[in-house]
Amino acid sequence: QQNVQQSPESLIVPEGARTSLNCTFSDSASQYFWWYRQHSGKAPKALMSIFSNGEKEEGRFTIHLNKASLHFSLHIRDSQPSDSALYLCAGGGSALGRLHFGAGTQLIVIP
Amino acid sequence: EAGVTQSPRYAVLQEGQAVSFWCDPISGHDTLYWYQQPRDQGPQLLVYFRDEAVIDNSQLPSDRFSAVRPKGTNSTLKIQSAKQGDTATYLCASSLNWASAETLYFGSGTRLTVL
C-alpha cells in the first residue's frame, strides 16, 4: 500500500519568490508521479508528471524525482498570486489505474 | 471538449438519510474513478471502473456505499445511510484508459454535509 507524505502542510510566500514543495512515497516500485493543483472550490487539475529519475521543466515549474531516496518535489520560480492553491502529489505503480494522493500543501502567494 | 460533469453540486443531509451522486465522464474515457476528499485532505480512492466492470472497490465502505456504471458511461455513487464522518467532497474523475501514466480529469465534485 502506497503511503504518500507531503510537506509542508501550508506555505505563505511573497510574490516573486521561489517555492519548493516536497513529497515522499513509501513504495519503491512506484513508476508514475504526478503533481495536481486544486484552486479553492475547483476540481484538481494535472500540472506535471514524470516517469523516470531526473528533472523536468515546464515554464516556471520544475519537478524532480529521486526514486532511490523516495523523494519527489515541485519548484515554482517567480511565484504568482494565481499559483495560490492546494498542491497534491500522487504516485502510482504496479497497480494499474491506482494513484495514491498525498494530503496536499496549501500554497498562498501574497502580492 | 466537455469535461467531467457531476451533480448535484451540494447536498446537505441528516444522519441516516440516503443520497446519490451522478457523474458523466469525458466521452471515450473507459476508466472512471470515485474519490472522497475530506476537508483539507487529498483525494482518497473509493472505487474505479474500466467500462462497466469494477476494478477495485476495496476502499468502498460496502455496508453503506455502492457504485455502478451499468453501460460503461455514466456512473452513480450512492450512500444508503449517511453518517457525519461521510462529510466530504466526492470527486469523479475519468481517464482515457487505466494506465497509471494517463492523466486524470476531475469533475468539480459534490460537496456533502451530513448533520
B24-78 pLDDT, tens digit per residue, is 999 999 999 999 999 888 899 999 999 999 998 888 987 899 999 998 899 999 9
Q: Are strands A19-25 and A4-7 parallel, antiparallel or unpaired?
A: antiparallel
A-B contacts (CB, under 8 Å): 67
Q: Is residue B84's pLDDT more than 60?
A: yes
Q: Of B3, B4, B42, which is closest to A101 when you measure between CB atoms?
A: B42
Distances (CA, A) of B93 to A32, B5, B14: 18, 9, 27
* Mean pLDDT value of segment A57-80: 95
Phi-psi region at B64: left, alpha or beta (left = phi > 0; alpha = psi -120 to 50): alpha
Does B56 sit within 8 Å of A98, measured CB to CB? yes
3-state secondary structure of B84: helix
Do B44 and A101 make contact, defined as CB atoms within 8 angstroms?
Answer: yes
B48: closest chain A residue by CA: A97
CA-based nearest residue in chain B for residue A52: B101
pLDDT band for position A97 (cuts 50, 70, 90): low
Give the model's pLDDT for residue A94. Answer: 57
Q: What is the nearest CA distance from A59 to chain B, expressed in angstroms? A: 19
Take residue A16 and report the three cell numbers written for it: 516573486
Instruction: Report whether pLDDT(A107) > 60.
Output: yes
| Contact between B56 and A88 using a beta-carbon 8 Å cutoff | no
Say whether A93 sits in a helix, a strand or coil: coil
Quote the mean pLDDT of chain A. Answer: 91
Classify residue A42 by its DSSP letter. Answer: S
C-alpha to C-alpha distance for A22 and B77, rounded to whole angstroms: 33
pLDDT, one tens digit per residue, over A31-67 is 889 999 999 988 999 999 998 999 999 999 999 999 8
A81 phi, psi to nearest 5 deg = -55, -30
Report the pLDDT value the prediction gives residue B21, as an integer from 0 to 100: 98
Contact A49 B103 (CB under 8 A): yes
